[in-house]
Structure 1
Amino acid sequence: MQTRNPILDEFAKLTTGAMGLAQAAGDEAKAAWRAQTDRFVAEMDLVRRDEFDVLKDEIAALRAELAELKAQKSNVKKTSSGPSTAAAPDADTAG
């Protein structure tokens, strides 16, 4: 048979209240820390990941286009730097 002890009941209530207060303080500390870090990151003017990925893709496309243009330029130089066929007579007709 259990008997109710008012001292133990009060101690249980006090302990429960202290645990609730500790949990609320922990939640408040987390919220304050999160707000502080968000403010710090905002002050650093960092780029978001999705913006970084878009810019990275644009740069890759520009590099590919630049490589293609360089290849076209080198092909044009190769064809124009060779001997001109219009200035030299053919070997069979020079006879």
Structure 2
Amino acid sequence: MTNGSNRILDEFAKLMTDAAGAAQGVRREVETAFQAQAERALNAMDVVQREEFEMVREMALKAREENAALMARVEALEAQLADAGASKAAKTDSKPASSTRTKK
């Protein structure tokens, strides 16, 4: 009777293994179907994908850095112009007045 019991247990174990494999297959199919449905819903809502968001974010960061560099450059140029204007004004103030006299 031991052989009969072992055969039944072996068949039961094989049945459970097949059932587990079938359950995994069903799970994969459900996951795939859910993922496809979720993707369709997100596309219908016009939601931005993560990759696109990251690309635009990097572009914005680069533009911000370039803007800061350009602002610093403009400020430096404005400072140079202000210094040049101040030194030019100082030179014209230090020149003696012209010696043209009016006749009486």
TM-score bin (small chain) = 0.5 to 0.7
TM-score between both structures, scaled by the size of structure 2? 0.58
Supply the distance in 1 between the matched residues of 2:30 and 2:58 (Cα, whole angstroms): 33
Structure 2 counterpart of 1:88: 94
Greater percentage in helix: 2
Amino-acid identity (%): 24
27 and 78 in structure 1: CA distance in 2 versus 1, 3 angstrom threshold: same
**1:40 CA drift (Å):** 5.3
Mapping for residues 56-71 of structure 1, pairs under 5 Å:
56-71=61-76
Could you list the runs of 5+ residues in structure 1 that have no partner in the other structure? 91-95
Moved more, 68-77 or 41-50: 41-50
- 2:48 corresponds to which letter in structure 1? D
* 1:45 matches 2:38: no
Could you list the runs of 5+ residues in structure 2 that have no partner in the other structure? 97-104
| Structure of greater Rg | 2
Supply the distance in 2 between the matched residues of 1:74 and 1:40 (Cα, whole angstroms): 56
Supply the distance in 2 between the matched residues of 1:3 and 1:57 (Cα, whole angstroms): 75
**1:20 CA drift (Å):** 0.9
Moved more, 74-83 or 35-44: 35-44
TM-score between both structures, scaled by the size of structure 1? 0.62
Structure 2 counterpart of 1:26: 27
Task: Classify the secondary structure of the residue corresponding to 1:44.
Answer: coil
Supply the distance in 2 between the matched residues of 1:56 and 1:35 (Cα, whole angstroms): 33
Q: How many residues align?
A: 89
